[in-house]
């Protein structure tokens, strides 16, 4: 995901690896964060794939590498952004990685993808409810409380997505 997050940042403006780390710390770090040791190899891969251009300059006697997204990179980023949101059973925050950049998608497509996400979350929640019904009589209280936590997390995520659609997207 780091590569797509970096491409998303470059949709805004040209940046150095340091700039991207600072931007990440101020914007996406509560749901996705990366170290410099992850950012710089990702930028190198993006450059090798032909998705970004690298401009090297000398400032105050130091080499400065500034990256910019090119058309191929924009196409790749928008292809990723337009694909369905993949909510995993264990990590709902992965949906936020895409929703954060939805300003680059047509409004209707953003609504469609969030509605799809709600459907997936509901499916995961129902699978936990089925599991709870099966193990309710034999599970220990600690096991049940973690199952309840999962159900509550899915409830929150669905509620958040639905409220977002009602209040922000319509």
Q: What is the mean pLDDT of the chain?
A: 90
Q: Is the pLDDT of residue 67 over 70?
A: yes
In the predicted model, what is the mean pLDDT of residues 40-63? 96
Residues 15-49: tens digit of each pLDDT: 999 999 999 988 887 677 899 999 999 999 999 99
pLDDT for the residue numbered 141: 84
Range name among 86-90, 98-102, 129-133, 138-142 with the lowest pLDDT average: 86-90
In the predicted model, what is the mean pLDDT of residues 58-72? 96
pLDDT for the residue numbered 165: 85
Q: How many angstroms separate the CA atoms of 148 and 97, rounded?
A: 25
| Chain region(s) in the chain for CATH 1.10.10.10 | 1-82
Provide φ and ψ at 84, rounded to 5°.
Answer: -55, 145
Fold for the domain defined by 1-82 = Arc Repressor Mutant, subunit A (1.10.10)
- Class at the top of the CATH hierarchy for domain 85-170: mainly alpha
In the predicted model, what is the mean pLDDT of residues 134-148? 83
48-69 burial: b if 16+ Cβ within 10 Å, else e? eeebbeeeeeeeeeeeeebbeb
| Chain region(s) in the chain for CATH 1.20.58 | 85-170
pLDDT for the residue numbered 85: 83
Angle value at C-alpha 37, between 32 and 42, nearest 5 degrees: 70
Biggest distance spanned by C-alpha atoms of the chain: 70
pLDDT-based confidence at residue 90 (cuts at 50, 70, 90) = low
């Amino acid at each position: 995901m780091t590569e797509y997050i970096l491409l998303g940042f470059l949709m805004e403006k040209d940046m150095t690896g340091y700039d991207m780390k600072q931007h990440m710390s101020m914007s996406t770090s509560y749901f996705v964060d990366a170290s410099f040791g992850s950012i710089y190899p990702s930028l190198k891969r993006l450059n090798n794939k032909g998705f970004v251009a690298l401009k090297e300059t000398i400032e105050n006697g130091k080499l400065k590498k500034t990256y910019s997204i090119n058309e191929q990179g924009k196409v790749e980023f928008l292809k990723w952004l337009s694909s369905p949101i993949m909510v995993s059973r264990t990590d709902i925050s992965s949906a936020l990685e895409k929703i954060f950049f939805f300003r680059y998608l047509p409004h209707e497509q953003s609504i469609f993808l969030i509605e799809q996400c709600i459907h997936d979350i509901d499916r995961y929640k129902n699978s936990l409810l089925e599991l709870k019904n099966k193990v309710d009589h034999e599970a220990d209280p600690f096991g049940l409380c973690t199952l309840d936590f999962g159900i509550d997390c899915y409830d929150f995520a669905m509620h958040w997505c639905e409220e977002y659609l009602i209040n922000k997207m319509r």
